[in-house]
C-alpha cells in the first residue's frame, strides 16, 4: 500500500475547520463535508432558507483557501458573457482583447444561482465539468484548484429557474445548513455583537498545498468489497420503485472520491463502509428524481438514500493492514 501523508491531510482539515469556525458557529459536520469536496476537486451546492449562513460559509472557505476569489450575484438579467468574459476591440492594439469574467478564479461563489436564466446557468457547465471556458472559439484553461460554491433558496420560487439535472449532476455535494441550536444562536449573537469576524479572517493554506493534498487523496486505498458496495448502492437507486431517475455513473465516481477524502480527513489511508455512508446523502440525494406521487407523499430524496443505506449490505468487511 502506498504510504500517504495522511497526517498532513488531517492536519489541513483541522486547521481549516478551526479557521472557518471563527466565523461559522457549529456546523462541524457541514464544514468537514465541504473540505472533503474541496479535496475531491468537486463543486458544492449550498441550499437552505435565507439567513442561515450559506454565503458567509462560502466566503469563509474562500478566504481560508488563500487563492483567487470572485463572486457572481445571479439575477435574471445576468448574461453568459458576464460570467465567462468577453472579447472587446482594443483600438491601440488594433485587435480584440479578452477580458476574463469572474469564473476565471480559483473559488467562484455563484450566489442565488437559481435566479439566473437557464442559458446563463449553462455557461458554468463547461467550467465545472472541464475546467475551462470557451469564448469566441478560444478555450481558456482555468487555474487549479477550481471550485464553484453555489447557493440557492429552496422555498422561494418567484423569479427563479430550477437547476436542470445536467447542472445538478456536476455538483459533488449538496449541503443543507439548517437552523442553529439555542446555544449556537446565543454564541452567534455574542460573536457578532460588535463586528463580523469574517473581516479579520486570514488564509491558513494556499492553492499549491491544496493541489498536493488533492493528489494525495486519490491514492487512498479502496478495497474491492467497498468499491462493490458503492456500485450496488448506486445501482439500487435506479431500480427503486419510487425513483423516476436514479444516480448517474458520475455520481458513483463522486461518491468514491468523496469517501476517499473523508477517510483522509479522518486520518486513514483506506476507505471504510462508514465513510461511504457518511458521504452518501450529500453526494447522491440531489441526483435523484422522484416520482410525482412520491413527492406528494412527502418522501424526500435523502429519505430514499437513507432507506437504501439500511437495505444494501456490505458483502465482506475490508481487511486492511496498516501501520496507523
Distance CA(217)–CA(219), nearest Å, equals: 5
- The residues near 13 (Cβ < 8 Å, ≥ 6 apart) are 32, 35, 265
- Assign 300 to helix, strand or coil: coil
> pLDDT digits over 21-68, tens only?
888 888 889 999 999 999 999 999 988 777 778 888 888 888 898 888
| Average pLDDT estimate for 106-135 | 87
> pLDDT digits over 77-92, tens only?
999 889 988 888 777 7
> pLDDT digits over 227-267, tens only?
999 999 999 999 999 999 899 999 999 999 999 999 999 99
Fold of 1-204: Rossmann fold (3.40.50)
220-318 shares the fold of 1-204: no
| Average pLDDT estimate for 116-130 | 86
pTM exceeding 0.75: yes
Fold of 220-318: Helicase, Ruva Protein; domain 3 (1.10.8)
Bridge partner list, 219: none
Percent of the chain with pLDDT over 90: 36
Q: How confident is the model at residue 197 (pLDDT cuts 50, 70, 90)?
A: confident
**Domain coordinates of the chain in residue numbers?**
1-204, 220-318
> pLDDT digits over 275-284, tens only?
999 999 999 9
> pLDDT digits over 304-317, tens only?
999 999 999 888 65
The pLDDT value given to residue 157: 63
The pLDDT value given to residue 272: 94
Amino acid at each position: 500500500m502506498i504510504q500517504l501523508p495522511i497526517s498532513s491531510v488531517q492536519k489541513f482539515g483541522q486547521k481549516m475547520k478551526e479557521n472557518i469556525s471563527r466565523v461559522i458557529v457549529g456546523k462541524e459536520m457541514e464544514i468537514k463535508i465541504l473540505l472533503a469536496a474541496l479535496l475531491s476537486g468537486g463543486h458544492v451546492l449550498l441550499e437552505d432558507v435565507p439567513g442561515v449562513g450559506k454565503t458567509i460559509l462560502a466566503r469563509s472557505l474562500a478566504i481560508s483557501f488563500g487563492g483567487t476569489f470572485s463572486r457572481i450575484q445571479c439575477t435574471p438579467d445576468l448574461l453568459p458573457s458576464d460570467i465567462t468574459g468577453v472579447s472587446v476591440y482594443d483600438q491601440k492594439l488594433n485587435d480584440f482583447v479578452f477580458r476574463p469574467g469572474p469564473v476565471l478564479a480559483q473559488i467562484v461563489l455563484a450566489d442565488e444561482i437559481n435566479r439566473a436564466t437557464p442559458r446563463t446557468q449553462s455557461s458554468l457547465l463547461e467550467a465545472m465539468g472541464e475546467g475551462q471556458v470557451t469564448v469566441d472559439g478560444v478555450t481558456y484553461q482555468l487555474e487549479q484548484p477550481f471550485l464553484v460554491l453555489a447557493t440557492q433558496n429552496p422555498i422561494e420560487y418567484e423569479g427563479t429557474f430550477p437547476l436542470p439535472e445536467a447542472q445538478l449532476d456536476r455538483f459533488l455535494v449538496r449541503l443543507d445548513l439548517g437552523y442553529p441550536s439555542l446555544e449556537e444562536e446565543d454564541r452567534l449573537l455574542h460573536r457578532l455583537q460588535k463586528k463580523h469576524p469574517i473581516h479579520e479572517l486570514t488564509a491558513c493554506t494556499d492553492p499549491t498545498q491544496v493541489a498536493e493534498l488533492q493528489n494525495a487523496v486519490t491514492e487512498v486505498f479502496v478495497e474491492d468489497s467497498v468499491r462493490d458496495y458503492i456500485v450496488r448502492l448506486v445501482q439500487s437507486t435506479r431500480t427503486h420503485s419510487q425513483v423516476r431517475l436514479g444516480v448517474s455513473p458520475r455520481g458513483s465516481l463522486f461518491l468514491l472520491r468523496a469517501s476517499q477524502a473523508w477517510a483522509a480527513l479522518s486520518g486513514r489511508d483506506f476507505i471504510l463502509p462508514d465513510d461511504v455512508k457518511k458521504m452518501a446523502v450529500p453526494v447522491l440525494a440531489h441526483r435523484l428524481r422522484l416520482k410525482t406521487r412520491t413527492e406528494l407523499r412527502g418522501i424526500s430524496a435523502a429519505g430514499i438514500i437513507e432507506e437504501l443505506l439500511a437495505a444494501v449490505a456490505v458483502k465482506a468487511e475490508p481487511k486492511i493492514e496498516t501501520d496507523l
